[in-house]
Structure 1
Amino acid sequence: MHGVLTNGPFNENPRCVAEFADRLRHSRTPYHSASIRHYSGSTGPTSTPKKLNVALYLTGAGVAVAGSGYYFFTSQSAATTTAVAAPPKQEKSPLDPKNFVNFKLKKVIPYNHNTSTFVFELPDNQASLLPVASCVVVKSSDPEALKDDKGKPIIRPYTPTSHPDLIGELHFLIKKYDNGNASKYIHSLKVGDTLGIKGPISKFPYQLNQFEEVALIGGGSGITPLYQILDYALPDKNNKTKFKLIFANTTEKDILLRERFDEFKKNYPDKFDVVYIIEKGDKNWKGDLGYITKDTIKKHVAPASAGDKVKVFVCGKLAAVAGKKAGYDQGEIGGILKELGYSSDQ
């Protein structure tokens, strides 16, 4: 949408307002046919894209028109009339894939006993525009802080949980580990502090409807990359892929983003299902107990014979499922998936 700044007789003459409204009612282009980019709003620990609700108001106080290319706002005192231009389309992310950029911590939202959402401010109301699926790496903004035993900066990968189109903010759901230097450091940050962030680092260039079935196998805080794919694909009305999430944790209270996955299951019952597995549960636990086993995979994941129709994403400390990783890469496939005949491509 484009707009101009307007002052003068239009605002000062109520008859002009009435005539403009009458012309609008007889226009061949309905106001709701405007092409509007969908941005997302914050909903607690995570964010999901929400459609902008644009309405037409014709009142004595003013006229707002969507779809005509302008917004006209008239104050109660009828002193001025202003048309506000929509911001130009953002072409570039404020993140840099080659250099660390310091971003200010805007707020911290506690999630559970050891996990919080850290919300960082993006400059000039920009969106991150991170591709799916990708992550970033972080380090301390203070060169003297967060070092290893050899004096080198500790750098760790994290996957944002906010939608790529969320303007002004970048969210990370981070669990604090007793032996995790980076997570403890981030949990020590106060609002106004900064963190060095570099990215995006592409992990898998996910495309809508690339596969008929996708299995997402996650453990603990390794859930965030899997959530990124689901949050991107499921709300898209053109999505035809069926997703199955197998999510393993120590206890029920450790299940991160559970409310979002339950919401996905409710909203997209034909496209999404989730299986929660915990090691320790009380008598009230109705889900699976124990660990991810060969039988678990055979029951919930399309067989290896499905070929390129199935894709399996694994994230977390799950060497028994997919084999040991090679740095940030998966490395040679192993574990249960290899035993069941899945290929590295799958």
Structure 2
Amino acid sequence: MSFARFAFSARALHRQAASSARRYSTAPDASKKPSNLPLYLGGAGCAGIAAYIYLKQSGSAKAAATPKKDLTSPLDPQKWVEFELKRIEPYNHNTAKYIFKLPEGQASLMPVASCVLVEPAEGARPLLDDKGKPVHRPYTPISPPDLEGEFTFLIKRYEQGQMSQYIHALKPGEKLAIKGPLTKIPYKQNEWDEVGMIAGGSGITPMYQVLKHALADPSNKTKFTLLFANISERDILLREEFDQLKKEHPDTLNVIYTVDKADSNWKGYTGYINKEMIAKHIAPASLGNKVKVLVCGPPGQVNAIAGKKESIAKQGPVSGILKELGYTEDQVFKF
């Protein structure tokens, strides 16, 4: 079964919209909330090893997009393909952009929303878990799917993250093996009136992929609200990009940040994403099939907000805060 979707060009002109008040406004919360820190100790990925197992068993999803100048994709969901690291662009104290080389006339052509799996290239030092099995991790590129010649990952280094530590040790000219794409949830333009996005740390990349795709389409009518939790202000990934998108699309995008450690100049929320915050900003479950809530972050955060995800193929029951607020399995998707 193919999960491939046609993707709109991420370079499409942004629709200009008149500024107006949103239904779900944000307001600073001066009270100190419990710490975000335990939520980030679970690692970098949203899916883990189960992604590899599922892809190996059912990996029939092929990269597909609306190509320009007959672009093709070198990605393959059936086998590992090695890509050379072209350059590294430091981002902050523990995150960098890793840009991999593609041949002329090729682009990633990643469907929305999808990710790829990565592992060390052949001949490199293998990564094994505590059971002696190979380590694979899912990552979502942040570059446009139709960008010719290269594609980019924004990768945060986790102290307990084997793969993130490995990638941060790569040097230009070295290679990484990639398999995919693995489509997570095929995005259909205007399928929902409201989309709530709840993310933590590096779990922001699939949200960015969806927003860039959806907001670039002038026909978009869906209203997006992003709640994004991080340890500190300097840890907020892609903040400039999200703030710019919010400025360009004031009627269809709202972004709310919360941090664990706030300095005296911070005017946003402090603490983890809680029931009150979600109820205030995310469209209610009473909207039925008109609302969707997407969740991606460290396992602790996902468990508390939406319940544990069973596997890459099975979402598992909705529990946690979203269950308390009345959301059903049809209304929630866990990356």
Q: TM-score, normalised by structure 1?
A: 0.74
Distance 2:91 2:220 in 1: 30
Q: 1:306 is paired with a residue of what secondary structure?
A: helix
Matched, 1:107 2:87: yes
User: What aligned pairs does 1:67-146 form with structure 2 within 5 A after superposition?
Assistant: 88-90=69-71, 92-143=72-123, 144-146=125-127
- Letter of the 1:49 counterpart: R
Q: Does 1:302 align with 2:283?
A: yes
Match of 1:230 among 193, 205, 211: 211
Q: CA deviation at 1:38?
A: 8.7
1:125, distance to aligned residue in structure 2 (A)? 3.3
1:165 to 131, 134, 146: 146
What CA distance in whole angstroms lies between the structure 2 residues aligned with 1:149 and 1:298? 40
Choose from 246, 253, 265 the match for 2:227.
Answer: 246
Partner of 1:49: 11
Task: State the 1:316 CA deviation.
Answer: 0.2
1:283, CA displacement in angstroms? 1.0
Indicate the percent of aligned positions where both proteins have the same amino acid.
57
8 Å CA contact retained: 1:247, 1:277: yes
Which one scores higher on RCO, CA 8 angstroms, separation ≥ 6?
A: 2
* Equivalent residue, structure 1, for 2:308: 324
- Is the deviation greater in 129-138 or in 288-297? 288-297
Q: How many residues align?
A: 267
Rg larger for: 1
The C-alpha deviation readout for 1:83-124, integer Å capped at 9, x for no partner, is xxxx8523x421001101000000101000000010001122
The answer to whether the Cα contact below 8 Å between 2:258 and 2:272 also exists between their aligned partners in 1 is: yes
| 2-structure distance, mates of 1:173, 1:242 | 26
TM-score, structure 2 as length reference: 0.76
Q: Which residue of 1 aligns with 2:172?
A: 191
Deviations 1:255-301 (A, max 9, x none): 00000000011100011010001111011000011111111111001
Give the Å deviation of 1:149.
Answer: 3.6
Contact 1:93 1:128 in 2 (8 A): yes
Say if 1:49 and 1:166, in contact at 8 Å, map to a contact too. no
Instruction: Give yes or no for the alignment of 1:312 onto 2:296.
Output: no
Q: 2:242 matched to 1:261?
A: yes
RMSD (Å) for aligned C-alpha atoms: 1.8
1:288 to 269, 284, 290: 269
Q: Which residue of 2 aligns with 1:30?
A: none
2:330 matches 1:338: no
Unmatched 5+ stretches in structure 2: 1-6, 14-67
Separation in 2, partners of 1:310, 1:88: 37
